[in-house]
Amino acid sequence: MGWPSRPDNWRDGARPGQQAFVDVAKAISRFEPVTVGADPELVSQARAALPPEVEVVGIPQDDSWFRDTGPLFLVREGADGREVAGVDWEFNAWGGLYGDYSKDVKIASAILEREGIPCIPGPMILEGGSVHMDGEGTLLTTAECLLHPNRNPGLSQAEIEARLMAFLGVTRVIWLPRGLVADTDTNGHVDNIACFARPGVVVLAWSDDAEDPQYERSREALAVLEAAVDARGRRLEVVKLPQGPAMHYREEETASIERAGAGEMDRVAGTRLAGAYINFYICNGGVVMPGWGIPDADARAKVVLQEVFPDREVVQVYTREILLGGGNVHCITQQQPLGKPAAMGGLAISAL
């Protein structure tokens, strides 16, 4: 995880956002080790705020979305055990959302260097939240994001698929048309609308309100998923995760955010928030999911996820402050599998 501080994205000097990050880190640390990377001058601040079981290290950053700026880890099982490597994709701040992202482009390589894990440069712009994988060769994404002209305008859909297959080991890519309504920060990242609970089972953000623009998006995604087969030839089971009511920025939540530069994202009161319960993190034995402080909707979503993950404890954390910054639990976390550093001579991925 990172440590939020950017004044043109986080309100009140990022203090409310930092507290939400602390709450998420505490919840995850019940199940597995957590490391928080803070900008070097903020390491002492993060160390004082976080519990002692959470490791704090210095990692220069522009913002704290380590799902998108961190590495995507690869694993290979062999006779001598599991080997691990990481892909460092190109990054352009979500198509130019921020003017300065010179630190963020180095986060993935910094994490891999610190962990002693081989770094494989990925040959296109890709954020981790724009893809979801089942670990058995199937990848979910959205055309709204990966085919957006602000990412890789020189690449066709087929060329993007070829890179995903070559560098992530997948053999089947399922393209949803669009992401969550109002997800303009990421141009429709898949982690805000659908994800694998396990191979063969996809959880989908769902709305039964025909007046809500999410209603149409959820149904078009469902049609794609029900027609698809995964890399093993299985039809997908789709679990509908009900969305709560539409939420919007409040005046008091935007007043203290610094104005962004020309052409960059501004937080404006009254704008709809891209809030999705599906933006959760799967832990070793647990699931940490967002909550909005809307009792009925929060409880209903938690019940559904507990049914999806009967062998895991589902923990709900109030994360509206993270949502105000443009993401949620999945967006601020990046899992690292255990294993020894991969022997790079066995990775034949240099053709592209």
Q: Which residues are catalytic?
A: 331
Task: Confirm if 329 and 281 have CB atoms less than 8 A apart.
Answer: yes
Nearest alpha-carbon partner for 25 in 39, 13, 37: 37
**Which residues lie across from 315 on neighbouring strands?**
288
Asked whether the CA dihedral 19, 25, 29, 30 is positive or negative, the reply is positive
Torsion of CA 340, 343, 346, 347, to 10 degrees: 80
**Helix, coil or strand: residue 76:** strand
Give me Rg for the CA atoms of the chain: 19
The two beta strands, 138-142 and 131-133, are: antiparallel
Q: List, in sequence order, the alpha helices (H) in 256-326.
A: 295-308, 320-324
